Structure formats: C-alpha cells, structure tokens
Amino acid sequence: METTSRPALWPWISTLARLGLAAVWLVSGAGKVGDLAASARAVAAYQLMSYDLAKVVGAVQPFLEIALGLLLLIGLSTRLTAAISAILLLVFIAGISWAWAKGLRIDCGCFSLGGELGAGQDTAYGLDILRDLGFLALAGILLWRPRTRFSIDGALMGESS
C-alpha cells in the first residue's frame, strides 16, 4: 500500500468508530429506557450519591445515551459528541473502579438494568473497565479524526460520501 493512500483510510476508520460508538450508546440507552426505576437503582447501587439524585441521574442517563447514539449515527457534531462520550465513559470507568475498590458487589448496569448482585454471582469489573476503555478509544479516534463518511457533518462541509 502506498503512503499516499493511507490518509484516505482515516475517514473510513473514523466512520467505523462513529458507527460502533453509536451502536454502543443506542443499545445501552435502549436497554434502560423501558425501566427508569431500575436505572435509578443501578445508579444508586454505586453509593456515590443520594437516592433522590440517583433517581434523576438514572432517569436522564438512558436518554442522554440514546441522544449521543443518534447524533453519532447521523454524524452530526461528531467531535463534540465524541468529547461528551469520552467524558461519560471516564465517569463510568471511575464509577466502576470506585465500586471495585469499595468491594461493592454490583452489576455495572452498562448494558443491563444493573444493581446489586445476588448470591453466587461474580463481578466483572476488570472486563467492564477494559470494555469501556475500548469504547473510549473509539471516542478518541473521533476526537482526533472526526471527518467520517456518510455524515451530516460531511454534507454540511460539502464533502461527498
């Protein structure tokens, strides 16, 4: 492969990162939006805030995740959406690390309704953190190279897909 063709790959790599991260947010948010009370319990299980605040966070989080997913899916404000995604992922990684350090036995609630684990269920904090670091890498690609194919951002800039 010639060196001159490598820059042409970046919009495609970024497109895959954008669509992959969009899928993450859409699946995550959709899994929680149907039961906001369970989402609140999952947030409260981290023991980082009062239950009243956890109810608010638990109610807002699924809609935020869906909004991020939709913005990434259509490619609108890609860099800003990637930055918000990165911040949210760092918060999630910090929360999982907190739960691990405190010895809490909870499901992170990332792609489920989360909450405290039952007897005999094991935590997967290390895998949860590694997974979120992978998602953070996708956001990092979009922060570094936000120009993607098949995006509203590209259409607004007059780029052809």
Residue carrying structure tokens 């899994």: 31
Question: Whose CA is closest to 52, among 65, 60, 40?
Answer: 40
Q: Indicate if the pLDDT at residue 136 is higher than 80.
A: yes
- What one-letter code names the amino acid at 60? V
pTM (predicted TM-score): 0.91
pLDDT band at 5 (very low <50, low <70, confident <90, very high): low
pLDDT band at 7 (very low <50, low <70, confident <90, very high): confident
pLDDT at 2: 47
Angle, helices 6-33/51-74, rounded to nearest 10 degrees: 140
Residue 91 near residue 132 (C-beta atoms within 8 A): no
Per-residue confidence band for 161, with pLDDT thresholds at 50, 70 and 90: low
* Model pLDDT, residue 51: 94
Write down the mean pLDDT value for the chain. Answer: 92
Does the pLDDT of residue 3 top 70, yes or no? no
Biggest CA-to-CA distance, the chain: 58
pLDDT digits (tens, 9 = 90+) for 15-46: 999 999 999 999 999 999 999 999 999 999 99
Confidence tier at 4 by pLDDT (50, 70, 90): low
CA distances (Å), 135 to each of 7, 13, 24, 150, in order? 23, 14, 8, 21
